[in-house]
């Protein structure tokens, strides 16, 4: 009888020559979780932080905006740095600096300084995520690159959820500042783990020129995919950023821990990302899977009009299901449409992705502040409907092999 392979095969078995073994892969996964915890930990605490510092909802939302802002360009800059420094060394230094910024947040009494510290974190975290993807790609045997990257993506999604949950729990028990102190200690531990990863081969990077970028953007099909992912992440980031304020206003006794539990739907991302390839095959291709995910996403956004904890909780589950299906299949669709310059094609995808998230965490907040929740949700519905409409016009490319897409980390 043939041996049955376990579903998490990338965590079992003996590594082959040059293979990234289970111990180092687990260490890389833990570093990934810590890094993504740092990005989103403040989100369920935004209402409490706004009250603490006496700032408005839209201004407080900048704590996420300024952290996402550098993600569009910093990965490219750090990619060049990795030509001279090992991924493990770069990650270790940046994780220690991140730990120091979390300690500074714990001690800080100024909202302006809080924003500066979050911007610094936004500059440091891409160094960790770029280093992790580079390390996994270069240290894995060619037959296991995709599976090991799947482990990275799953860890990034879990980190986004766990950071919110940890912050909500710590804040409800000890106070919101303690959440950042605990996170700082976790990041210091991650720096130790990063030092144990060892070295991987230096990546061979190609420096892009403006003409190369312009040539890609001139192709309507590529630009359409970029605008689609921009729109969907704009809406997704905005909804998750301002839901804490909505719950604080409409749900009596909605503390930080209860608000953090709303983000449980985020765990759908792990299931969807691991099943997306099979689902796309069952549906007849990435385009159909993307359209299905976009349709579910649009309905979920409309459901955010509802009042009460349970309806919002369910809407967030559907929102995450739809978004992560789109996010999981869009890079594959993009690469199947591309015959060359895959690195630049994927790099532009990352830039549009994070530009959408950055603007989404701020601009709709102005509408929410001025016109209320109904107008805010209406704005998100319009953007999501526009993105879904654009996705309907995407072609269905013939399947052909291509290089793996190192798509953006999860939201």
Q: Which of 371, 407, 18, 403 is nearest to 226 (CA)?
A: 407
Answer for the pair 115, 95: CB distance below 8 angstroms, yes or no: no
253: left (phi over 0), alpha (psi -120 to 50) or beta: left
Half-sphere exposure of 2 (CA within 13 A, CB side): 3
As a whole number of angstroms, the distance between CA 196 and CA 15 comes to 17
Domains of the chain: residue spans and CATH: 21-199 (1.20.1250.20), 210-402 (1.20.1250.20)
pLDDT in tens, the chain (411 residues): 344 343 344 344 444 444 567 888 888 899 999 999 999 999 999 999 999 999 998 899 999 999 998 887 765 666 566 556 667 788 899 999 999 999 999 999 999 999 999 999 998 998 888 778 778 777 777 667 667 777 788 888 899 999 999 999 999 999 999 999 999 999 999 999 988 876 554 444 455 566 777 777 888 888 999 999 999 999 999 999 999 999 988 888 788 888 999 999 888 888 888 888 788 888 888 889 999 999 999 999 999 999 889 999 999 999 999 999 998 888 878 777 766 666 677 778 888 898 999 999 999 999 999 999 999 999 999 999 999 999 998 887 554 444 444 444 556
Q: What is the DSSP string of 294-309?
A: HHHHHHHHHHTT--SH
Answer for the pair 267, 55: CB distance below 8 angstroms, yes or no: no
pLDDT value of position 3:
40
Answer for the pair 75, 350: CB distance below 8 angstroms, yes or no: yes
Neighbours of 109 (CB within 10 A): 9
As a whole number of angstroms, the distance between CA 18 and CA 12 comes to 16
Burial class, 200, CB count within 10 angstroms (exposed 0-12 / middle 13-18 / buried 19+): buried
pTM of the model: 0.83
Q: Which of 228, 119, 69, 140 is nearest to 406 (CA)?
A: 140
pLDDT value of position 211:
74
Half-sphere exposure of 119 (CA within 13 A, CB side): 8
> How far from 272 is each of 117, 150, 325, 328, CA to CA, in Å?
33, 11, 6, 8
């Amino acid at each position: 009888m043939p041996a049955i392979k376990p579903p998490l095969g990338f965590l079992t078995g003996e590594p082959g020559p040059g293979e990234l073994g289970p111990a180092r892969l687990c260490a890389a996964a833990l570093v990934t979780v810590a890094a993504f915890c740092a990005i989103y930990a403040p989100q369920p605490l935004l209402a409490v932080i706004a009250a603490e510092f006496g700032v408005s909802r839209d201004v407080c939302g900048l704590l996420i905006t300024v952290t996402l802002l550098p993600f569009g360009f910093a990965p490219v800059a750090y990619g060049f740095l990795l030509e001279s420094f090992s991924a493990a060394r770069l990650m270790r230094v940046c994780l220690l600096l991140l730990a120091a910024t979390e300690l500074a947040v714990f001690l800080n009494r100024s909202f302006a300084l809080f924003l500066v510290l979050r911007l610094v974190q936004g500059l440091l975290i891409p160094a960790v995520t770029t280093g992790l993807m580079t390390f996994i790609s270069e240290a894995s045997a060619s037959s296991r690159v995709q599976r090991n990257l799947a482990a990275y993506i799953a860890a990034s999604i879990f980190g986004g959820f766990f950071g919110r949950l940890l912050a909500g729990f710590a804040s409800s028990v000890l106070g919101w500042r303690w959440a950042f102190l605990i996170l700082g200690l976790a990041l210091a531990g991650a720096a130790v783990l990063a030092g144990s990863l060892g070295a991987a081969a230096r990546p061979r990077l190609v420096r892009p020129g403006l003409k190369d970028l312009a040539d890609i953007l001139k192709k309507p099909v590529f630009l359409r995919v970029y605008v689609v992912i921009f729109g969907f992440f704009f809406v997704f980031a905005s909804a998750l950023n301002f839901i804490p304020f909505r719950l604080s206003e409409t749900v009596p006794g909605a503390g930080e821990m209860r608000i953090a539990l709303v983000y449980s739907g985020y765990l759908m991302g792990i299931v969807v990302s691991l099943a997306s390839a099979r689902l796309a095959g069952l549906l007849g291709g990435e385009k159909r899977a993307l359209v299905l995910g976009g349709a579910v996403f649009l309905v979920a956004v409309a459901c955010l009009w509802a009042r009460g904890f349970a309806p919002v909780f369910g809407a967030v589950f559907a929102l995450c299901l739809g978004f992560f299906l789109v996010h999981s299949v869009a890079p594959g669709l993009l690469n199947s449409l591309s015959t060359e310059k895959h690195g630049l094609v994927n790099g532009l995808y990352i830039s549009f992705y994070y530009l959408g998230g950055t603007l989404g965490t701020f601009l709709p907040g102005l509408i929410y502040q001025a016109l209320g929740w109904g107008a805010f949700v209406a704005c998100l519905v319009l953007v999501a409907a526009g993105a879904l409409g654009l996705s309907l016009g995407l072609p269905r490319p013939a399947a052909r092999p291509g290089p793996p897409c190192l798509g953006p980390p999860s939201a």
